[in-house]
Each structure stands twice: as C-alpha cells, then as structure tokens.
C-alpha cells in the first residue's frame, strides 16, 4: 500500500562489488523519450549546465516510462514529477566522474586512490560500458527526479540536485526536531517523492534523494532479484536503423 508519509529508512551504501556481480539478462526494451508526455516535466539538467556531450532530451526504457507515469499519477493534485536526467552518454559519465574525483582530491589532499573512489562514487558512478557491470545511467534504467507545482515552481527538497554533501542523503531530514517547520516540510516532500517512486517499483540510492533505479543492477541488488533486466544501451542512430532495415529487406544470400 502506498503510504506517502512513511519515513525514509537510513539505508547503508550499496555493496558495489556485489552489485557488479549481479548478472544482466538484457530484455531488449527500447529507449523512449519523456518530453512528449504531458504527465511529466522534463528538464535535462546537464544540458542546461553546459556539460559537454549532454543530451537535450531525457530517455528511459519503456517499462521505466510506465512506472514514472505511475509515480506521477500518485502525487497529490497540484504536484508534478520533474525528470532531470535519465539515459546518459558515456562521455558525460566520464566528465562527471573525472570532475568530481578531482574536486575530492583537492578537498582531501591526503586521501589515497581507494578513498577518493569511495567518496566520489557516493554521488557519481565510475564510467563503465562493460556489459557485465555498466554505469546505471547508461542502461536507461536510472532516473534523477524532483518535484514542482502545477505552475512549474520547483519545491525545496533540502539540497540542490547533485549537491555533494550530507544533505543529499535521502534520509538526512528524518532526524529533524519537531519545532523546525521548514525542515519538517522538506522531510515530508522527500517522503512523498520517495514513497511514490518506491510504490511504482523503483529503488533509491541512499546518498542521493533524487536518484532512482528500475531494471538495472542497483535495482536488482536492492530488490534481491537474481538478475538485472537492462545492460548498456544507446538511442539508435539513423545509419544503424537503415542497416537494420536493409538487412531485413535484403537478407544476405546463403
């Protein structure tokens, strides 16, 4: 049952080694665009930030789209789900990881390589096209979301999108005191988003209130599934579509 105000548990960070060992049983679902859906607001955050190679659309697997619609439909009247990022090119993943790791190194000059990787991957996964262990956003199963009102005003969720600090942890505001009305309002908004997304079948990355997964290895780990549904994917190119169509129309002779 969907309980909009159910508290957000303080989950531990995923065991990334175990996540990477979960097999991928690619189901072959295509990517689809979100920006044509009237039920969602789409704001490709990295494109607007000028990140090199960032895409101007948000695309997800077909089943992820259906589950986003389910989550959006469960929100109270006057609130909408905003999608900030979904499928992500490997070049963008590389840029984000490299940039944050360098910032972490400047902030923690005594940290060794393993510590820097641990600190960085709390907020950005290492870039990987490996079909056995791809970066979540490369699969089309990971989405970054927030809330806005019917006029498009973004709700205060307690931290900025992609903020690298303790306020970004999903359960950060669960310990606020009863007299702090502003923090309690943030807590309740996070609960609303979290519970709507989980009721639609997603899992949440505990260090990012905005990050949710369906069908990828991280989702499989959280839900105890024997395999992930999605491996690395990409939107089809025009050349690739033509090649496929020609191959279907003119099969090679035996």
Active-site residues: which are they? 208
144 labelled ligand-binding: yes
Does the annotation list 137 as a binding residue? yes
The closest alpha carbon to 172, from 151, 156, 158, belongs to 158
Beta strands in 111-210 (DSSP E): 142-149, 203-204
How far is residue 81's CA from residue 152's CA, in Å, rounded to a whole number?
10
* Nearest partner of 58 among 23, 34, 76, judged by Cα: 34
The answer to the question of whether 172 is labelled as a binding residue is: no
* Cβ proximity of 13 and 204 under 8 Å: no
User: Angle between the 62-73 and 181-199 helix axes, to the nearest 10 degrees?
Assistant: 130
| Cα 53–Cα 55–Cα 57 angle in degrees, nearest 5 | 175
Residues placed in the known binding site: 137, 144, 211
Residues placed in the known binding site for Zn(2+): 137, 144, 211
């Amino acid at each position: 049952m969907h309980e909009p105000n159910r508290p957000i548990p303080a989950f531990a960070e995923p065991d990334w080694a175990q996540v990477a060992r979960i097999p991928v049983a690619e189901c072959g679902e295509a990517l689809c665009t979100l920006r044509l859906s009237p039920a969602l607001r789409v704001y490709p955050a990295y494109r607007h930030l000028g990140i090199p190679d960032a895409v101007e659309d948000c695309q997800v697997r077909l089943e992820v789209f259906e589950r986003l619609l389910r989550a959006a439909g469960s929100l109270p009247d006057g609130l909408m789900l905003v999608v900030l990022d979904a499928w992500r090119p490997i070049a963008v993943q590389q840029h984000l990881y490299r940039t944050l790791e360098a910032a972490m190194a400047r902030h923690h000059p005594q940290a060794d390589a393993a510590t820097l990787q641990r600190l960085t991957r709390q907020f950005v996964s290492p870039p990987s096209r490996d079909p056995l262990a791809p970066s979540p956003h490369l699969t089309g199963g990971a989405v970054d979301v927030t809330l806005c009102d019917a006029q498009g005003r973004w709700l205060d969720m307690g931290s900025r999108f992609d903020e690298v600090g303790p306020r970004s942890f999903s359960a950060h505001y669960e310990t606020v005191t009863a007299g702090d009305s502003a923090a309690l309002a943030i807590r309740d908004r996070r609960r609303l988003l979290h519970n709507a997304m989980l009721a639609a079948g997603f899992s949440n990355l505990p260090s990012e209130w905005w990050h949710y997964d369906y069908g990828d290895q991280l989702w499989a780990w959280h839900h105890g599934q024997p395999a992930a549904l999605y491996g690395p994917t990409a939107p089809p190119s025009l050349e690739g579509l033509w090649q496929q169509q020609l191959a279907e129309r003119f099969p090679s002779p035996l």
